[in-house]
């Protein structure tokens, strides 16, 4: 199954390790982690993004709120 994360982008649910609120980006540890990721995919203008999704291989930024993404995953399962 796949999760739609905005702007016609989908991610395999099985690959998702976590979905996080982008406001967590204010912590130094989170900033360092996000900057260290090699494969970053932005599904919208970064200013519009509300969440980030960590998968096995990539980091995705999404304009959809984490709670909405969670609800979508729950509907899939």
- Phi–psi pair at 24, nearest 5 degrees: -65, -15
> What are the tens digits of pLDDT across the range 6-47?
988 999 999 999 999 987 767 888 888 888 888 888 877 888
Number of compact structural domains in the chain: 1
Given its phi and psi angles, is residue 47 left (phi above 0), alpha (psi -120 to 50 degrees) or beta? alpha
Quote the pLDDT of residue 34: 83
Q: pTM for this one?
A: 0.85
Give the residue numbers spanning the domain of 29. 2-76
And the tokens for 30?
Answer: 């989170």
What pairs with residue 18 in β-bridges?
A: 54
């Amino acid at each position: 199954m796949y999760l739609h994360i905005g702007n016609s982008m989908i991610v395999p649910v099985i690959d998702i390790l976590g979905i996080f609120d982008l406001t967590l980006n204010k912590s130094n540890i989170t900033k360092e982690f996000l900057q260290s990721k090699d494969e970053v995919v932005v599904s919208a203008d970064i200013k519009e993004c509300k969440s980030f999704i960590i998968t096995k291989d990539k980091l995705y930024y999404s304009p959809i709120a984490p709670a909405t993404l969670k609800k979508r995953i729950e509907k899939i399962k």
